[in-house]
Amino acid sequence: MKIKISRQYIYLSVIALFLFVFVLLFSFLVLIPEGKEYRKNRLELKSQFKEIRKYQNFHNELADRLQDLQKKHRNIILAFDATFNPERFHKQNKAYFATLYISPLKPIEGEDEFVVYEVNTTSQINSPKSFYDFLDAINKSDWIVGINFPINFTHDGEFIKSSFTMKVYCNDKNSTKKIVKEEK
């Protein structure tokens, strides 16, 4: 009994067997190890996205808070950027005193960005009320000013003389320029 198998059938069977072996080898040698690697990378990517989302939410909260604070304290930010003009300060506040003298002092070491002034005043009153009105006016001014203690009040006849020092807090444009030049 002779089995007749055509040549095309043999070629087709050999090619099919070769393809089957190739697919099995490709699956076990390439796809399955890469699939494990893919799952591991996918889990790592999900955890990184979760962490990024957490930091993005934190960033958004801080940005919103910063914008709220900038809106709330806009006047203070603008006052900090304003440059101090002693003549303008004198004109605005001379109504509270009979005499008002402003003289700059040497900068205190370590506080180069602040301008320190000594203010001597004379008031023709029986109480220091004009001084407190002056303090209220300073709080509403264009500058950030700190009045330092001690505030000396002396009684001289019908006048009350006062002397105190104040710090004017503002960005010193010259020191900012120095820093920029040093960085270059």
Structure tokens that stand for 67 in this block: 């914008």
The answer regarding whether domain 83-176 maps to CATH 3.30.70.60 reads yes
What's the CA angle centered on 173, arms 169 and 175, to 5 degrees? 90
Residue 145: CB atoms within 10 Å: 19
Amino acid symbol at 27: S
DSSP structure string for 53-83: HHHHHHHHHHHHHHHHHHHHTHHHHHHHHSP
pLDDT at residue 115, as a whole number: 62
Rounded distance, CA 151 to CA 98, Å? 17
Say how far apart CA 150 and CA 103 lie, in whole Å: 17
- Helix/strand/coil for 5: coil
Q: Would you write out the chain's pLDDT as a tens digit for each of its 184 residues?
A: 677 888 899 999 999 999 999 999 988 888 888 878 888 999 999 999 999 999 999 999 999 999 999 899 887 777 777 777 778 877 887 777 777 777 766 655 655 556 666 666 655 555 667 777 877 887 777 777 777 777 777 777 777 777 777 777 766 555 433 433 443 3
DSSP 70-132: HHHTHHHHHHHHSPP-HHHHHHHHGGGSSEEEEEE-PPPTT-TTEEEEEEEEEE-SSSTHHHH
175 in Cβ contact with 113 (< 8 Å): yes
Q: Where are the domains of the chain?
A: 1-72, 83-176
Enclosing H/E stretch for 164:
strand 159-169
Contact between 114 and 168 under an 8 Å Cβ cutoff? The reply is yes
Q: What is the pLDDT of residue 13?
A: 93
Question: What would you report as the CA-atom Rg of the chain, rounded to the nearest whole angstrom?
Answer: 40
Do residues 163 and 119 touch, judged by C-beta distance below 8 A? yes
Q: Are 122 and 98 in contact (CB under 8 A)?
A: yes
